[in-house]
Amino acid sequence: METKLPKGRETSQDHNGAGVSTEKLSRRKFLSYGIGGIATAIFAALAYPLAGYAVSPALRKQEEHWIAIGSIKDFKPGNPKKVDFSFRKHDGWTLVNQKSNVWVVAKGEGEFNIFSPKCTHLGCAYHWDDNQKKFMCPCHGGVFDITGKVLAGPPPRPLEKVSYRVQDGKLTVKGV
């Protein structure tokens, strides 16, 4: 028994002898598939380099910046010293000059505590009170001891330490 198929369809036999219907591809569909494929290829060819250009700064390996802040002889044990410095940093595609500072506390022979200049509560600048021998944050009353431990106020954690190393008698800190 033979079944009638709609116009434009044909039957063929597969390798088992069963009838399989195939649809004829019209010229219009062939051209629309071809144009769609070409448009997709063009889009992919343009999108890939553009995406790479936009995302590459975020994926680039960050360089380690070590900044010399002074001779180890400049720092006396138990006497915190604020050290200001400037450095050049890549910011996306530009190179900018930045200024920063750290608090250096000498502990002994080549050993230091170096703290970020920002309070751990809201990032305010704090200072060393020589009379009380404490770091004081004027914003919300944060108080830290000489080791950076919180003594009073709202700061949730101790002062943040900055990585350092000593080379040839010079104290260097990792870019902050």
Find tokens 């380690």 and name the residue: 64
**Where residue 42 falls among pLDDT bands split at 50, 70, 90?**
very high
- Give the length of the chain: 176
pLDDT one-digit tens code per residue, 19-35: 555 678 899 999 999 99
Sheet with strand 111-115: strands edge to edge: 81-91, 94-108, 111-115
Cα–Cα–Cα angle for 155, 160, 142, nearest 5°?
25
**Where residue 12 falls among pLDDT bands split at 50, 70, 90?**
low
Q: 131-151: buried (b, 16+ CB within 10 Å) or exposed (e) per residue? A: eeebbbbeeeebbbebebebe
Output DSSP code: residue 1: -
**Where residue 63 falls among pLDDT bands split at 50, 70, 90?**
low
**How far is CA 92 from each of CA 48, 49, 56, rounded to the nearest angstrom?**
20, 17, 9
Provide mean pLDDT across the span 156-167. 90
The CATH number that domain 66-174 falls under is 2.102.10.10
d(CA 127, CA 102): 11
Q: Give bridge partners of residue 68 from the DSSP assignment.
A: 172
Check residue 96 and give its pLDDT: 86
